[in-house]
Amino acid sequence: MKNIWGVEIELNKSILDYIHIESDREKAKRNFDRALAGESFTLVEQYGEEHLEREYFKDTYYPLIDNDDNILGLAVTVEDVTLSHSNKEKVSQVIKQLEEQVDKRTLELERINTDLQEENYKRIESQKELNLVKAQIEKALANEMELNKLKTKFISMVSHEFRTPLTIIQSATFLLEKSYERSDEEKFYKNLDKISKSIDTMTDLMENVLNIGKLEHGEIKASKKVFDIRNEVKNLVESNKIYNKIVKIDLPAENVFVDSDKVLCTQIVNNLLSNAIKYSGEKPKIKLKMIADGYNCIISVKDNGIGIAKENISNLTEAFKREDKISSLVQGTGLGLSIIKHNLDLLGGEMNIESELEEGTKVTITIPR
């Protein structure tokens, strides 16, 4: 008790008088009252003067009862449950050390975490760069392969396309000589005509190749003049021996004047008709229709031919691209649609291809007036 209150407690004095802290005194009084009412209980409580050892005590209160169940008083056992002072210091030292260690480790962990995050970020960045480079290399490789394929196609196409007229020229030259020797004028002129036509074919082909080269390098410019496109198309069909037999034309009743490039327009319509005939087989039914409003002249060429697979339509406007399945069957350089596209770009026009396999194809072009 001396440790707690700082005084010896005399016999027959109330302990409450020694408790100077008001709240402690009230707490003790409450506990005494409970014991005096007959209750036994144990509490862990804090008591004592601030300057002494105000510590934790395990206090057990119980009433003193005689044989007739009368409560005579109460007894309290007090057990100091606070660690001894030195122990406490050690513990707090250990705790302090532990706390310091925890702080240190936390800091270390935070640093490691930051390093890891940085490393991770760098890794993601370099992975991104790697992916980018990979994509670029793959694209370059694909381009290179595509270019190689086109080169091979181009070479085989040119040699193929030149072989036929060259063979004709060769045999016609031989026959020309013979007919000259025999003074057979008719055969002579027939063979001369064959030679001249074959040369035309080769010249056309070379011109197409040169033309596409110039178009792709932007060397050709549209030179616009006002002309009657209706008349131009009419003449193109009627003056061509093949076209005038096969192509049905549906033109506006009146002239259609456009401010455009006549050469480019004629090339466009010519290539459309050539395709429609080439890819229409035995009984071609080809219809050319022209309509016009104040802003545009719209020309469509419809055939009943082999058609184009939907997925290939957009690719065929690239130079030298042809449908694989027909490339060995029908002669062609794969330049027509590409020339049309380039010409339309120069004129500010548009092209739309609709096609159904085995049914036919309809190509519609719009030329601004």
Residues 134-173 contacting ligand ATP, CB under 6 A? none
Residues 75 to 114 in contact with ligand ATP, rule: CB under 6 A: none
Residues in contact with Mg ion by the rule CB under 5 A:
275, 336
Indicate the residue among 188 and 243 with the shorter CB distance to ligand ATP.
243
Q: Which is nearer to ligand ATP, 265 or 337 (CB)?
A: 337
284 binds ligand ATP (CB under 6 A): no
- CB 262 → ligand ATP: shortest distance, Å? 20
Please name which of 251, 273, 249, 250 lies closest in space to residue 336, comparing C-alpha atoms. 273
Residue closest to ligand ATP when measured from CB atoms: 336
Which residue is it, tokens 């802003």? 295
Longest dimension (CA), the chain: 169
**Residue whose CB is less far from ligand ATP, 48 or 334:** 334
* Among 316, 344, 365, 367, interactor with ligand ATP by CB under 6 A: 316
300 binds ligand ATP (CB under 6 A): no
Please state the φ and ψ torsions of residue 263, each to the nearest 5 degrees: -65, -45
Nearer to ligand ATP, 48 or 336 (CB): 336
Shortest reach from residue 315's CB to ligand ATP, in Å: 9
Give the residue closest to Mg ion by C-beta.
336
- Exposed, middle or buried: residue 145 (CB in 10 Å: 0-12, 13-18, 19+)? exposed
Among 306, 344, 346, 365, binds ligand ATP (CB under 6 A): 306
Please state the closest distance from residue 335 (CB atom) to Mg ion, in A.
7
Is 299 a residue that touches ligand ATP (CB under 6 A)? no
Give all strands of the β-sheet with 296-302 in edge-to-edge order.
Answer: 247-250, 286-292, 296-302, 360-368, 350-356
Gap between the Cα atoms of 10 and 72, Å rounded = 20
Report the residue number, 79 or 318, with the smaller CB distance to Mg ion: 318
Distances, alpha carbon 334 to alpha carbons 205, 208, 265, 319, 352, in Å: 11, 10, 19, 6, 18
**Strand partners for 27:** none
Residues β-bridged to residue 259: 226
Which one of Mg ion, ligand ATP, none interacts with residue 322, CB within 5 to 8 A by kind?
A: ligand ATP
Please, which residues have CB within 8 angstroms of residue 70's CB and are 6 or more apart in sequence?
Answer: none
41-47, strands of its sheet edge to edge: 41-47, 55-65, 71-80
- Residue with Cβ nearer ligand ATP (177 or 207): 207
Judged by the rule CB under 6 A, the positions of this chain that interact with ligand ATP are: 208, 271, 274-276, 278-279, 303, 305-308, 316, 322-323, 326, 332-338, 361
